[in-house]
Amino acid sequence: MFGLFVCLLQSVIVSFIRLVSEPSSSSRLLTGLGMSDEDSRASSSSSSSSSSNPQQDTSYLKKKESKASMSKTSKLLSTSAKSAGPKDDNIYEWRSTILGPPGSVYEGGVFFLDIAFSPDYPFKPPKVTFRTRIYHCNINSQGVICLDILKDNWSPALTISKVLLSICSLLTDCNPADPLVGSIATQYTTNRPEHDKIAKQWTKRYAT
């Protein structure tokens, strides 16, 4: 009987350890956005303590994201991105503002992007789309971006700041070998001066 009691006690202890070690979806989201482990633990703790009040939980997550993740994001993006943060009270819907990289045909432009996170983030990539029209062979008229890290090469280790940096890099060096708009890619490779002229015109017309 004593041996049976010990086995049951061990089973309960192991189950408890697994329970407290399992991260919440909100904690995974904030960790993927680039928050520290301490912030993630605080977020997870708040989620469990305020589960009866979803509005309070959402407000808390937004506050933590703004103070921690956003400060890190702004430092990493430097002059490439003006801002990136949640829309209203929904931490799964973000809006980012990217500045056209200096020296590129998009210099002087201000480009708005929507970022949508799934509940499975960071195990699945966010959906990033341009809301400002841009003349680019890897970005179509619907704002869809052809970028490998947003598809097959996605990794949970990638934070949103790294994603935005990759998009800024794409504005500096497009990839005509893997185009989303074939006509622009062809023009880029066969008539670069005309391509750059139109890209600058679009930037002035739609992004300034």
Dihedral, CA of residue 39, residue 42, residue 48 and residue 49, to nearest 10: -140
Catalytically active residues are 146
SS3 state of residue 73: helix
The helix or strand, by DSSP H or E, that contains position 170, with its residue range, turns out to be helix 160-172
Tell me the Ramachandran region of residue 125: left when phi exceeds 0, alpha when psi lies from -120 to 50, beta otherwise: beta
Name the region of 143 (left: φ>0; alpha: ψ -120 to 50; beta: rest): left
CB 159 within 8 A of CB 32: yes
Nearest to 48 by CA among 76, 72, 20, 68: 20
